Amino acid sequence: MGNVGASEVPQLIGPDGRRIDGRKVDELRQIRVVAGPLKRADGSAFVEWGANKVMAAVYGPREVHPRHLQVNDKAIVQCRYNMAAFSVDERKRPGLDRRSQEISKVIAEAFESVVFAEEFPRTSIDVYIEVLQANAGTRCAGIVAASVALADAGIPMVDLLPSVAVGKVGGQIVLDLKKEEDNFGEADLPMALVPQSGRLVLLQMEGHLTAPELGRALDLGVTGCRAIYEKMKQALRDRYSVDPPQVLAEVAA
Amino acid sequence: MSGEVAAEILTTHVLELARDGRRLDGRGLDEYRAVTLEPGYVASADGSALVHIGDTTVLCGVKLEPGKPFPDTPNAGVLTTNAELVPLSSPSFEPGPPHPRAIEVSRVVDRALRAAETIDLKELCISPAEKCWTCFVDIHVLDHAGNIIDAAALAASTALAHTTMPRVRFELAETDIPLAVKHVAIETTFCRLGDALVVDPTVDEEMACQGRLTIATDEAANVVAMQKGLVGAFAPQEVKELAERAFRHGDRLRAEIRGGAR
């Protein structure tokens, strides 16, 4: 997609059914989630996902800027998804392009769907996502990082939001596209799941999927999200759980 | 009574009606408003269309100009889609730089046109790596009575289906030819009102809405683009059902565009 007229399309699924990086069709890339790496932010998280590196920070609830956006009976969620100039092969012009603005909008709406906004009237919960190194699926990595950052900031939410992209590559429905699969595949469908309700709060798609393929893609994405959900919870446990033997030793001393 | 209070009462009313399977304007939950397409509305454009969906009015103009292809796609032309939510179309639209709302409309329409291959960009190549047609699709929302994404997409597809390549004006050939339209993508937007999922929402319904989902389909029974917007959530099963509904609405509206095309 986005490569009309490009000269060569690489073979994305090998004769053994494996993908270019050796993954099976329903296999995720390696994911590492770290909660709370930043000192100044109210909450933060870092996600390394395949060759993606994404940092997220949360500030708030705090005063709304600009003020006219303030809502009397609830908090608003503002999001800024930004890609660093050096995050892609060809230097990207710094600042928010139209793609980043659209992604910022749908991510803010996804989080506003799960945050208990009515608990913090007239405030803003500001979510900042910085893509430091990009290799497809950056908005999903950003949502995963931002969810953990929101939890790290102590913002009450219905649930964390695991997120993943499903796609169609070499005629097959595959989980978690990497760059070549995104560029030369036949469809890309990023989503974010509320595990508690099983509902999707972010859903986008581009490419070609028949109705049965769409059904399979949604199901595969939900399964993927649930696997990522475990890693997100573990990251929070790693940050906040106290090692029991150590506590006992301290009590004894 | 303040506007906020009025909005609150209206929102409650819209949601109560939806619970009984009814809508403020008397439509059924899966009933689309009347659609009229008026191609060739603007003579100065190479292609254009004025589209009404109920009281919503959107105008699209297409202009073609010779330009330079992108280095990574030397054999293809360039497609640029832009939507303007001009302040005359709604009390809530303000002048100034494009609002994220406008950017979303542009990008969702652009995504459907690209994914469905509404125009074959390779046909826009004039000389590889040097010269190609740049196709500007400019969308003006004139009256925002709800569901501007569908209206903008309909206007864009209809305008493209009635576009002439201005080869004579740019001294590239002796005659002009129509721009070939390969596949027509139709966007169908649904809103959640409680448990009800209504098609083609009005402004009042969008105000009360608890999640919006747009599904673009092509004539070969593919979903080619989707966009979930606003605060709210959809179950995967609901998405599958809405895709089936989108196919039905898409086929009907596609016939209207194709029927009017040369």
ipTM above 0.90, yes or no: no
List pLDDT tens digits, range A53-98: 999 999 999 999 889 999 999 999 999 999 998 899 888 888 899 9
Summarised one tens digit per residue, pLDDT across range B33-91 is 999 999 999 999 999 999 999 999 999 999 999 999 999 999 999 999 999 998 888 88
Which helix or strand (DSSP H or E) is residue B179 part of? none
DSSP state of B80: E
Whether residues A218 and B100 touch (CB distance < 8 A) is answered with no
Instruction: Kindly state the tokens that stand for A253.
Output: 């001393």
Closest partner CB to B233 (pick from A1, A194, A215): A194
Across the interface, whether the CB atoms of A208 and B213 are under 8 A apart is answered no
Phi, psi of A118 (to 5 degrees): -70, -10
Find the CATH number of the domain harbouring A218.
Answer: 3.30.230.70
pLDDT at site B96: 83
Residue A240: φ, ψ to 5°: -110, -15
Digit-coded pLDDT (tens) for B86-110: 888 888 888 888 899 999 999 999 9
Of the candidates A173, A161, A67, the residue with the CA atom closest to the CA atom of residue A113: A161
Task: Tell me, yes or no, whether A252 lies in a domain.
Answer: no
B142 has a pLDDT exceeding 70: yes
* pLDDT for the residue A4: 54
Domain count, chain A: 1
Name which of A118, A206, A216, A226 to mutate to probe chain B: the one with the most chain B Cβ atoms within 10 A of its Cβ: A206
Residue of B nearest to A212 (CA): B240
pTM for the model stands at 0.87
Domain membership flag for residue A7:
no
Q: Is the pLDDT of residue A251 over 80?
A: no
Q: Cα(B192)–Cα(B14) distance, rounded to whole angstroms?
A: 11
- CB crowding A189-217: b at 16 or more within 10 Å, else e: bbbbbbbeeebbbbbbbbbbbeeebbbeb
CB contact under 8 A, A189 and B211: no
Residue A6 lies in a domain: no
Which pLDDT score is estimated for B91? 83
Regarding predicted confidence, which is higher, B72 or A250? Answer: B72
Instruction: Give the pLDDT band (50/70/90) at residue B1.
Output: very low
Structure tokens, A158? 């219905």
CA angle, corner A126, sides to A99 and B206, nearest 5? Answer: 65
* Residue A91 lies in domain: 31-240
Which residues, listed in sequence order, are joined to residue A167 by a DSSP beta bridge? Answer: A174, A188
Q: Do A6 and B229 touch (CB under 8 A)?
A: no
Q: Which of A193, A171, A164 is nearest to A50 (CA)?
A: A164
Query: Nearest-CA residue of chain A relative to B228?
Result: A203
**Fold of the domain spanning B3-260:** Ribosomal Protein S5; domain 2 (3.30.230)
Q: Which residues pair with A173 in a beta bridge?
A: A168
DSSP letters spanning B87-105: GGG-TT--SSSPPHHHHHH
Structure confidence by residue, pLDDT tens digits, A97-136: 999 999 999 999 999 999 999 999 999 999 999 999 999 9
Residues of A in Cβ contact (< 8 Å) with B234:
199-200, 203
pLDDT in tens, B6-35: 688 999 999 999 999 999 999 999 999 999
What span, in angstroms and rounded, lies between the C-alpha atoms of B52 and B56? 5
Instruction: Please name the member of A197, A205, A211 whose beta carbon is closest to the beta carbon of B226.
Output: A205
E strands, B149-219, where?
A: 164-165, 177-178, 186-193, 196-199, 212-217
Residues of chain B contacting residue A113, judged by C-beta atoms under 8 Å apart = 211, 231-233
**Which is nearest to B150 in space by CA: B109, B183, B103?**
B109
Task: For chain A, say whether B15 makes contact (Cβ under 8 Å).
Answer: no
Tokens 């506007």 locate to B3
pLDDT, residue A63, reads 94
pLDDT band at A244 (very low <50, low <70, confident <90, very high): low
Q: Write down the domain spans for chain B.
A: 3-260
pLDDT at site A241: 86
Q: What percent of chain A has pLDDT over 70?
A: 95
List the one residue out of A150, A119, A149, A126 whose CA is nearest residue A54. A149
Asked, for residue A51, whether it belongs to a domain, the answer is yes
Is A115 part of a structural domain of the chain? Answer: yes
Give the pLDDT of residue B36: 96
B76: CB partners within 8 A, 6+ apart: A4, A5, B69, B70, B121, B122, B124, B125, B132
| B 207-236 near A (Cβ less than 8 A) | 211, 213, 218, 221-236
Contact A218 B239 (CB under 8 A): yes
User: Does a structural domain hold residue A25?
Assistant: no
**pLDDT tier at A247, thresholds 50, 70, 90:** low
Say if the Cβ atoms of A214 and B104 lie within 8 Å. Answer: no
* CA gap B248, B242 in Å, rounded: 10
Residues A215-223 have a mean pLDDT of 98
- Taking every pair of Cα atoms in chain B, the longest distance, rounded to a whole number of angstroms, is 65
Summarize pLDDT for A132-168 with one digit per residue, the tens. 999 999 999 999 999 999 999 999 999 999 999 999 9
Q: For chain A, say whether B7 makes contact (Cβ under 8 Å).
A: no
Q: Above 60 in pLDDT, residue A3? A: no
Mean of all residue pLDDT scores within chain A: 93
Chain B CB within 8 Å of residue A2 CB: yes
Is residue A250 in some structural domain? no
Contacts of A59 (CB under 8 A, 6+ apart): A41, A42, A125, A126, A128, A153
Q: Which residues of B touch A106 (CB under 8 A)?
A: 104, 227-229
Distance, CA of B184 to CA of B217 (rounded, Å):
8
**Residues in a beta bridge with A192:** A163, A202
The predicted model gives A214-221 an average pLDDT of: 98
Percentage with pLDDT > 90 across chain B:
88
Length of chain A: 253
Q: Is residue A176 part of a domain?
A: yes
CB count in 10 Å sphere of residue A85: 11
Q: What is the pLDDT of residues B203-218, one digit of tens each?
A: 999 999 999 999 999 9
